[in-house]
């Protein structure tokens, strides 16, 4: 019987053999077999809006799954069967915990138990709108400490083309193990859409790529056993470019309708009516809708990763940068519209007004406040001396954030005729379905609607202004 002998961070040998290729083949085949039989243990690093749904989906597919996070509060809640993300239901989490298919920990030494390690950590921007890859780099360094032969490492974090090859691969290779031989590396961009009930992690097609043909097959086999449809592309750089392209597409088109909103408003034309009518064309048009600014973990951030990377090739991304300028300017435009309506209707300035912001999350029907334009709106108003409160049943209190720390701890008010009467105006930033729009329409003195929410519900009156 052949016995495999190895220690951590050491290229193994096989007793009774003399050929290095025997071990090379063994390392790959053993992992391929473990994935095919679902005997592989899957580790997911980063249990946020991407990592936790993925970990539970992998567990549901039959893999023993370990979730890793540096936040002990998250781990404690998960171990107790509680979920902090809408996409993961508590009963599903409890089912996987009870079946022994899912566990969560802050002990990263447990990575050595994993056959597959999937990295789902944030990729924010610096203050100068340049890529901030420290979470990816730090996580890769942590994985390197526990890297062993026969492991597959997959990066899911959205980033610029070349990150897997130029950043993650060298860090892992510093272990002394050989990529494509001792360990395998891949990239599969996350495609989560918080609040979208039509699609889940398991039903959204996944783009996958590997560093070399062996890694490509392993990544494809892994995701094909977890999600319904897998699309394999030729390289990790291509897969990284796919995700950037998806988000650039949305950012540019949203910028376009935001600019049209400003133009048509000056002409006295309702941009939402225009878009809805244009959308009746069965070809050549795709509807995008304006808003008070971009939010979320992808669209406001990811296009600038490509902008930064393009400079390495002496190229400028004029379309992307222009779209960014337009979208970033939207909160200020909304404040100007609010200011005009207050002055026109009540001869009131922002400095003497009291305003209620409806919706703090970055999009409807979720509690996610990452990059939310509502936070920007709140700070812009307070900088003008406005007294500001907010109402969002899905965000009862504002958690600490990197860029809006002074807002932490603010609490959502409860809507009532009496509470609405206290405000000079309501700024409707996010149109959650759970808000009582009839109550708002009846009792608010002024409604500045950035989402066309009132008109879509047939609640138009002379106190509603679109922005």
pLDDT digits (tens, 9 = 90+) for 305-340: 999 999 999 999 999 999 999 999 999 999 999 999
| Delimiting residues of CATH 3.40.50.720 domain(s) in the chain | 4-234, 249-466
Q: Is 133's pLDDT higher than 50?
A: yes
Q: Is 12's pLDDT higher than 50?
A: no
Q: Is 302's pLDDT higher than 90?
A: no
Label residue 121 by pLDDT band (50, 70, 90).
Answer: very high
Extended strands (E) in 21-180: 41-45, 64-68, 102-105, 116-119, 151-155
Q: Is 15's pLDDT higher than 70?
A: no
Contacts for 169 with CB less than 8 Å, ≥ 6 apart: 179, 185, 211
Among residues 175, 185, 205, which one has the least CA distance to residue 193?
205
Instruction: Look up residue 167 and give its DSSP letter.
Output: I
Per-residue model confidence (pLDDT) at position 5: 28
Label residue 296 by pLDDT band (50, 70, 90).
Answer: confident
The hierarchical CATH code for the domain 249-466 is 3.40.50.720
| Average pLDDT over the chain, rounded to an integer | 93
Per-residue model confidence (pLDDT) at position 9: 37
**How many Cβ atoms sit within 10 Å of the Cβ of residue 98?**
10
Q: What distance in Å separates the CA atoms of residue 216 and residue 112, rounded to the nearest whole number?
A: 22
Q: Is 2's pLDDT higher than 60?
A: no
Label residue 14 by pLDDT band (50, 70, 90).
Answer: very low
Tokens of 406: 């002074």
Torsion sign over Cα 246, 252, 255, 256: negative
Tokens of 90: 């508590």
Q: Is 272's pLDDT higher than 70?
A: yes
Label residue 24 by pLDDT band (50, 70, 90).
Answer: low
Per-residue model confidence (pLDDT) at position 78: 96
Strand-pair partners of 12: none
Average pLDDT over residues 357-384: 95
Q: Are strands 387-391 and 447-449 parallel, antiparallel or unpaired?
A: unpaired
pTM of this structure: 0.89
120 is catalytic: no
The third-level CATH classification (topology) of the domain covering 4-234 is Rossmann fold (3.40.50)
Average pLDDT over residues 446-454: 98
Average pLDDT over residues 300-306: 88
Q: What distance in Å separates the CA atoms of residue 187 and residue 206, rounded to the nearest whole number?
A: 11
Strand-pair partners of 67: 44, 104
Per-residue model confidence (pLDDT) at position 369: 94
Per-residue model confidence (pLDDT) at position 21: 52
End-to-end Cα separation, the chain, in angstroms: 74
Q: Apex CA 156: angle with CA 155 and CA 157, to 5°?
A: 100
Q: What distance in Å separates the CA atoms of residue 56 and residue 35, rounded to the nearest whole number?
A: 17
Among residues 293, 206, 301, which one has the least CA distance to residue 254?
293
Given the residues 114, 298, 391, 434, the one annotated as active site: 298
* pLDDT top residue among 266 and 15: 266
Tokens of 318: 């004029």
User: Among residues of the chain, what percentage have pLDDT more than 70?
Assistant: 95
């Amino acid at each position: 019987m052949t016995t495999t002998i190895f220690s951590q961070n050491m290229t193994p040998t096989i007793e009774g053999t003399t050929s290095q290729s025997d071990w090379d083949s063994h390392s790959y085949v053993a992992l391929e077999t473990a994935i095919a039989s679902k005997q592989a243990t899957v580790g997911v690093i980063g249990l946020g809006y991407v990592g936790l749904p993925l970990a539970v989906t992998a567990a549901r597919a039959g893999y023993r799954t370990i979730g890793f996070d540096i936040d002990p509060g998250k781990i404690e809640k998960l171990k107790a069967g509680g979920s902090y993300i809408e996409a993961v239901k508590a009963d599903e989490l409890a089912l996987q915990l009870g079946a022994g298919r899912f566990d969560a920990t802050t002990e990263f030494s447990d990575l050595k138990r994993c056959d597959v390690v999937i990295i789902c950590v944030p990729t924010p921007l610096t203050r100068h709108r340049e890529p901030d890859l420290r979470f990816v780099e730090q996580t890769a360094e942590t994985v390197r400490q526990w890297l062993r032969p026969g492991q597959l490492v997959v990066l899911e974090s959205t980033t610029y083309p070349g990150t897997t090859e130029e950043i993650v691969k060298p860090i892992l290779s510093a272990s002394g193990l050989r990529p494509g031989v001792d360990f395998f590396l891949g990239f599969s961009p996350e495609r989560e859409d918080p609040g979208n009930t039509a699609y889940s992690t398991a039903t959204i097609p996944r783009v996958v790529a590997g560093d070399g043909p062996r890694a490509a097959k392993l990544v494809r086999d892994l995701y094909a056993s977890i999600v319904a449809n897998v699309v394999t592309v030729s390289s990790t750089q291509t897969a990284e470019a796919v995700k950037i392209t998806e988000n650039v597409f949305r950012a540019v088109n949203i910028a376009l309708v935001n600019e049209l909103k400003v133009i048509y408003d000056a002409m006295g034309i309702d941009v939402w009516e225009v878009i809805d009518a244009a959308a009746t064309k069965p070809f050549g048009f795709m509807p995008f809708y304006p808003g008070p600014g971009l939010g979320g973990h992808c669209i406001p951030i990811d296009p600038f990763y490509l902008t930064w990377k393009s400079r390495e090739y002496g190229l400028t991304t004029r379309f992307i940068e222009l779209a960014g300028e337009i979208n970033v300017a939207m909160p200020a435009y909304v404040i100007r519209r609010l200011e005009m309506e207050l002055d026109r209707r009540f001869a009131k300035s922002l400095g003497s007004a009291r305003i209620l912001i409806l919706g703090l999350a970055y999009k409807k029907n979720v509690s996610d406040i990452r990059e939310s334009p509502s936070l920007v709106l709140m700070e812009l108003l307070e900088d003008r001396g406005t007294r500001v409160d907010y109402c969002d049943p899905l965000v009862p209190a504002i958690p600490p954030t990197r860029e809006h720390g002074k807002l932490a701890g603010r609490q959502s008010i409860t809507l009532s005729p009496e509470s609405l009467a206290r405000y000079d105006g309501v700024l409707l930033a996010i149109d959650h379905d759970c808000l009582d729009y009839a109550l708002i329409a009846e009792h608010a003195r002024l409604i500045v609607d950035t989402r066309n929410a009132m008109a879509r519900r047939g609640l138009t009156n002379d106190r509603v202004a679109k922005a």
